[in-house]
Structure 1
Amino acid sequence: MDQPTSDSIETTNPWTTLSSREGYVNPWIRVREDQVINPSGGRGIYGVVEYKNRAIGVVPVDAEGNTWLVGQWRYSHERYEWEIPEGGCPPGEEPAECARRELLEETGIRAATIEPLLMNLQLSNSTTNEVCDIFVARDLTFGEAEPEETEQLAVKRLPLTEAIQMALDGRIRDSVSVLALLRLATQLRG
């Protein structure tokens, strides 16, 4: 069977939603189940996790080429992970300001400069609508971290090149962190 070419692909929605019901809701997510007709004409269900906040990641980089990672136990994966500072941006908060806030909360670092690195990423386009913006923080000053009550964090300073290697060799597995660090690696190669 021939694959469609980009010129022949129909870009309108081939799905029909017959009904939708909310299965669960909390302050961070809403889970819904839709009764659908799929692109081949068959009936079925489609479950969607809707996120109420936008995901935000931020990579602090100092003038010497160092960065900071945050270590914490990730409940859903049942393991300890190292990652860039991350958090949720509620509706009404500007993503760049959220990046500044998360950086300060998790590491105690203030950034004079916040630059977009990767914007409007789809973190899982099969079952969620979660999107993420990632920033680079520069011109840093240091203070005390102010983590949320649900966070027991460790902060590690290391060369950016070492953090990139951790993303490459699997020591960093968080997708937002891996994406951010690999994007910075391409910029370093110039």
Structure 2
Amino acid sequence: MSHTVLHRWKNIQLAEIDVDLPNGKSIRHTTIIHPGAAVILPITDDGDILLLRQFRPSLNKWILELPAGTIEGDESPIECARRELIEETGYSAQHFEPLGQCSPLAGFCDEIQYLFVAKGLSPNQSLLPDDDEVINVIKVSLDDIENWIKTDEITDGKTIACLSKAKLCGFLI
């Protein structure tokens, strides 16, 4: 598939790509080329969930979300999940269970988000956020999170998708 890069930021590209559609038409499509990301649902031994209160410059506001981050270089999704959990929460996990994947922006981005449940948490180090990240870690109950989703205090799509998938797969009761 040929493409023309219009802009680069970190390891993400805005590009125009040539696509042959299933109906036989060929089009030039503008898309974001993304290396993928890991989304982590960290569950404590007492059943609470580690959630981030993070300032998002694109929205110019604080949001509540699960830890997540972009895959770097030849890193695997699980390696990304391990790294991001430590960087964004200060915790490591003994066990990671894959939950599958999510396509958050399929209309204009090829990003795949790999979803994980993390258990056996233990404090590892202090937070190591990226330069553009402002993060506070909070420990909350599943009931609180579900209420916050119902009342739009949590609107982050990856968080809602990961929690839903974890609940459907029996990791949350």
TM-score band w.r.t. shorter chain? 0.7 to 0.9
* Corresponding residue number in structure 1 for 2:154: 172
Pairwise CA distance, 1:180: 0.9
Identity of aligned residues (%): 27
Cα distance in 1 for residues equivalent to 2:25 and 2:84: 45
Matched length = 170
* Corresponding residue number in structure 2 for 1:93: 75
> C-alpha offsets along residues 6-65 of structure 1, whole Å, 9 cap, x if unaligned?
xxxxxxxxxxx8x743211232211122466766777764211111x3111101101211
Q: Which runs of 5+ in 2 are unaligned?
A: none
2:6 alignment partner AA: G
- TM (norm. structure 2) is 0.86
Q: Pick the aligned partner of 1:150 from 111, 127, 132.
A: 132
Higher relative contact order (CA 8 A, sep 6+): 2
* Corresponding residue number in structure 1 for 2:5: 22
CA RMSD after TM alignment: 2.2
- TM (norm. structure 1) is 0.79
* Corresponding residue number in structure 2 for 1:163: 145
Cα distance in 1 for residues equivalent to 2:75 and 2:24: 41
**Aligned: 1:122 with 2:103:** yes
Deviates more, 1:94-103 or 1:26-35: 26-35
> C-alpha offsets along residues 93-134 of structure 1, whole Å, 9 cap, x if unaligned?
121121111111111111011111233x21211111111101
**Matched ranges for 1:54-133 at <5 A:** 54-119=36-101, 121-133=102-114
CA 67–127 in structure 1, closer or farther in 2 if over 3 Å, else same: same
> C-alpha offsets along residues 166-186 of structure 1, whole Å, 9 cap, x if unaligned?
233321111110101122333
Larger Cα-atom Rg: 1
Cα distance in 1 for residues equivalent to 2:88 and 2:3: 38
Q: SS of the counterpart of 1:126?
A: coil
Cα distance in 2 for residues equivalent to 1:127 and 1:94: 23
Q: Which runs of 5+ in 1 are unaligned?
A: 1-16
CA 37–109 in structure 1, closer or farther in 2 if over 3 Å, else same: closer
* Corresponding residue number in structure 2 for 1:134: 115
